[in-house]
Structure 1
Amino acid sequence: MTEVQENITNLKKQIPAGVKLVAVSKFKPKELLLEAYEIGFRAFGENYVQELVDKCEALPKDIEWHFIGHLQTNKVKSIAPFVHLIHSVDSFKLLKEIDKQAARNERVIECLIQIYIAKEDSKTGMDKAEYLEMLESEEFKSLKNIKVKGLMGMSTFTDNMDLIREEFRSLKELFEQTRNIQADNFSLDEISMGMSGDWQLAVEEGSTMIRVGSSIFGSRG
């Protein structure tokens, strides 16, 4: 068994049932993804559109591709034919573009709304008020080719675990506040929060999906 395969196997033993592991594979060579694939792993997360497109073309077609980076509206068309889940929908404008490109590909694309929970300017996302206002709008309700499946949040980059817990908890509270909304394009099931350094904390606070890179692939490709 390779190091990547061992890392995935060990991680899966630690992760509770019901929590999905997404392997963050940005900048990692295709050979390492194939090592994970060979032991049945299928969910990979990429941050950059061109890298995602290239890997999708080169790797097996049953891989479940997650887009987890900042997504520009003009790049949506490149991933719309095949992306499994977009974690990083940080504006209503972007969601409308995803809906438009999904319609062109005769698909419904599943999305997570990225909520701004960190105390950092470098992070993006909707604030709570923007998110709630969007859900009330007729324009949102009219979108037919997206389905909002949950929320995503990125914590502050800090060693202050109390702050990180507080941020994760705020995302879970917003999830609970809106999870009972009923709409054809809205069905909250997932909370994507937690990465290599804080996923245990995220799971304690209700995460259903963790995005782990260095703990699987190492810090170098």
Structure 2
Amino acid sequence: MKILVIGAHGRVGQRIVNQLNDKGDNVLAGLRDEAQFSTFNGEHITPILLDIQQTTVAALSAQMAGVDAVVFSAGAGGGGYDRTMLIDLDGAVKAMQATEQAGIKRFVMVSAMGTSSRATWADAIRPYYAAKFYADHWLIHDTALDYTILRPSTLSDDSGTGKITINASDKLDNGAKTVSRDDVAAVAVAVLHDDQTVKQTISFTGGKTAIQSAIDAAAK
């Protein structure tokens, strides 16, 4: 499979790219600065220049030629609320539009737990949750993409365990509060290779169930 990862230099994005490479998938690593190209050296990884804030839908669609699936893992990363809206929301929508223009169906969105309900949004980062809410809404209701939306809980840099817990309530106060970025990437890789997750929104946190088993149960 040939997969474009948008936001490949992010802490989750890097892990997704490297794990896909390890599985033998061909990966286009979308990076906003050529100085980041040296981040990757896997034999199946091709870095490409892709600034989701500055690119156009047409230009992005052209870069997707030959791609089988797109992963959106880009984010402003605390770079201010203006950039949050331009990357986490408008950048995500541009990616969806470009994916459809390129004739690609499969799209995986890395979102955030608690996005579905305004009542659960933390006041300190409400604009971030608003961006995620409307990006997810657009993906579900305004595209014909074969999407999977991933909503992990608070992220950590702990080593991955290969295990998660599905949180069907999509609330941060239900169960463990964190999940490792390694495991978030592993979930993204797993759903890309699993058609039963199409049109699914999967909220999860760190847990005790093997990732594939948890995904299988969530998709039933």
- Pick the TM interval, shorter chain: 0.3 to 0.5
TM-score (norm 1): 0.37
TM-score (norm 2): 0.37
Instruction: Please state which structure has a larger fraction of its residues in strand.
Output: 2
Higher Cα radius of gyration: 1
